A and B are shown apart, each in its own frame.
Chain A
């Protein structure tokens, strides 16, 4: 065993320093690209990210400082195949060499695609795409909000379709860049603003087609959150044939193009009018059926009995029918002549209904049996006579027990 020399005894720090200088002075380690798999990933509260890059034979400690880490468009994750760029350095305190990471790129897939998939998975897990939270669009929005570029083809298409479907529709445009760096923030802001405007009942978020990169605002978390936070239904109308954007997944309704977005959101005046007039027709027909059914009931109950004086209530009804027929005539959707004729014929039929109303009020008609003659006085009856009492819904055959004529009657 040799004796330590008097001089040249180094401190740990000094040796570490020499190693560091050696390693960090090596130009072949100062700027390296390394392929491997991320493992043991530990994000720190400080924002720095620590992980190990490994392959089948070796592993390398890595640190990515906050300033670099926040610029990553996607999340680091264990198992991610990556190409990492950085420089080798030494961390004196641990006596360890490590890679100071400047960039990480997913190996195999594009970074934008990975970011998209990760955001999609995260928002899905949070429930932003849940079918249960999709809202129905109003059939008749008082005003339609539109978030898009004021100079784009998307707006032009929406205006064209809206005017065709409903010339009087009220549109409120929240202008927003739909491409470029500020697009996500502007679109999100536009949604937040226009959805607060009084009377706006639905919002269309639109842009024409584009590549994944050009549609990035519609794949951003900002826009997804804004759609999710909207108090009124949102229609995404981003023109693209395949693949859904994240905005499509969060929106209450997805339209394949801006024109289709307007088609879905703006009611068709013609269709609504048709619907109204068909409802009016059906209502009238159903009412006529009710009248006919009552009349048939009456006819059966009445037999051959002559008409009695029309009670006041019936003339009240007639008045109401007259009034209804006038109102009907003034309805814009009304097929005036046809319906008017029907009401007139109903009024005519109603004249025949008067005894029904009387019977329905609790009166009965009394006839002699078997002659069927109408009996108007108690005095013509004696005990043992057979009579029939006719009610609104049928008749009873009766045997007279005793007759009590009223005094002076």
Chain B
């Protein structure tokens, strides 16, 4: 299960890498290292997007505290 919290920072880093690559003036070695990092980040982001969870839960408060349970399907669904 990919770490959903990683998406935003990974995407932000990927955008920064592409900007840096596009600004040019990089020695080849640095360019390759950045590109390699970018590919890994892109793959991670894509994996997160592919997670299908379809979870809809209802929060309820009882004597034993707050609990989450799946939403009962209504007649319309």
Contacts and interface: CB of A to CB of B under 8 A. Distances in A.
B76 to A, nearest CB: 7
A324 interface: yes
Interface string B23-64: 010111101101110111011011111111111111111000
Contacts, number: 137
B61 to A, nearest CB: 6
B11 A139 contact: yes
Contacts of B17: 283
A280 B42 contact: yes
A321 interface: yes
A286 B60 CA distance: 52
Contacts of A70: none
Interface residues on A, range: 35 or more
B18 A279 contact: yes
Nearest to A269: B49
Interface of A: 138-140, 142-143, 150, 156, 159, 167-175, 189-190, 193-194, 196-197, 199, 269, 272-273, 275-276, 279-280, 282-284, 286-287, 289-291, 293-294, 317, 320-321, 324, 327-328, 330-334
19 contacts: A170-B53, A170-B56, A172-B68, A173-B58, A173-B71, A174-B59, A193-B61, A272-B11, A279-B38, A283-B18, A283-B39, A290-B21, A290-B24, A293-B24, A294-B27, A320-B36, A324-B35, A331-B46, A334-B42
Given A170-B56, A197-B59, A283-B38, 17 more contacts: A140-B8, A150-B58, A156-B76, A167-B52, A173-B56, A174-B59, A175-B59, A197-B68, A273-B46, A276-B46, A279-B15, A283-B42, A327-B39, A328-B39, A331-B46, A332-B49, A333-B46
